Each structure stands twice: as C-alpha cells, then as structure tokens.
C-alpha cells in the first residue's frame, strides 16, 4: 500500500501546504504564491497518474515498447501556461488594490471598506 501510493500522498501533502497558505495568510501576494504551490502540486498529481513503471517519455522511438500516457502531459502542459496567465491577472488586481487602498493585507482592506460604508471615515 505504502510502496504503491506514496507519490499520491506526498502530492496531497504539498497541496495541503498550499491550501493552508491560501486560507490562513492575509497578504494577497502570499495568497497567490500559496495558490501556485497548490496548483503545482495538482500538476504533479496528474502527471504521476500517467506514469508507467519502466516506461519512457511518450516520444516514439525504435526499440521502446512502454511509454507513459501522453494525455496528462498535454493537459498539464497547457494548464501551466494558463496558470501563469491567470496569475498575471491576479497580480494585476493586487496592484490595483494596492493603489486604491495602500495595503495588501486582506483584513486592512476589508476594514477600510466597512468604515467607508458606515460613513465613519472616508
């Protein structure tokens, strides 16, 4: 059991570290970093599902019979590039938030929002 499933559990551990950063930290850039840790761990999980013992990279050559499955590779290859594109959107939002609120901390931004609405300070 342990010998055959250890990779999955290790990727889950990495995922959970990323998820912890996303939930617990208030800094928006740190949240995005945590999100990309989570994302990379998910990529690792996908790729590990395509691995075959004794296989090689799915580039067809003479004299090789076993190949790892190419489909997870295709999905994750595109997902990495989409991931950095969405990270850029997140970072752009962070920059705009910082320009409006002068802070990157989630708590601080929320506090300024609520005080503005009550008209206590604006």
Partner 1 sequence: MTAFVLVNISLFAILGATALAITRMRALYEATMLTALFSLVTGSLFVLLDAVDVAFTEAAVGVGISTVLLLGVLSLTRSREAVTPRRRRLPAALVVLFAGGALGYAAQDLPPFGSATTPVRDHPVTETYLVQSQQDMGIPNTVTSVLASYRGLDTLGELVVVFTAGVTVLLLLGPLTRRNHPVKKDLVLADYRVLRVVSGVLMPFILLFALYVLFHGDYGAGGGFQAGVIFASGFVLYGLVFGLDRVQQVLPQAVLWVLIPLGLLLFMGLGVATVLLGGSFLDYDTLRPDDTAAGQRLGILLVETAIGLTVATVMTSVFFSFTGRGASR
Per CB under 8 A, contacts with partner 1 among 43-82 are 43-44, 47-53, 55-61, 66-74, 76-82
Residue with smaller CB distance to partner 1, 66 or 114: 66
d(CA 74, CA 54): 20
Footprint on residues 1-30 left by partner 1 (CB under 8 A): 1, 3-10, 12-21, 23-27, 29-30
Residue with smaller CB distance to partner 1, 3 or 119: 3
Contact between 86 and partner 1 per CB under 8 A = yes
54: number of CA atoms within 13 Å, CB side? 3
- Smallest separation (angstroms) from partner 1 to the CB of 13: 6
Task: Tokens 């604006």: give the residue.
Answer: 122
d(CA 47, CA 53): 13
Residue with smaller CB distance to partner 1, 10 or 112: 10
Burial of 86 (0-12, 13-18, 19+ CB in 10 A): middle
């Amino acid at each position: 059991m342990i010998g055959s499933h250890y990779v999955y559990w290790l990727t889950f551990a990495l995922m959970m570290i990323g998820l912890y950063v996303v939930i617990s930290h208030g800094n928006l850039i740190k949240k995005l970093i945590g999100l990309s840790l989570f994302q990379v761990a998910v990529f690792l999980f996908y790729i590990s599902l395509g691995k075959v013992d004794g296989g090689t990279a799915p580039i067809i050559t003479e004299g090789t019979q076993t190949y790892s499955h190419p489909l997870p590779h295709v999905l994750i290859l595109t997902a990495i590039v989409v991931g950095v594109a969405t990270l850029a959107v997140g970072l752009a939002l962070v920059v705009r938030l910082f320009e409006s609120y002068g802070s990157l901390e989630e708590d601080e931004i929320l506090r300024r929002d609520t005080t503005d609405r009550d008209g206590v300070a604006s």
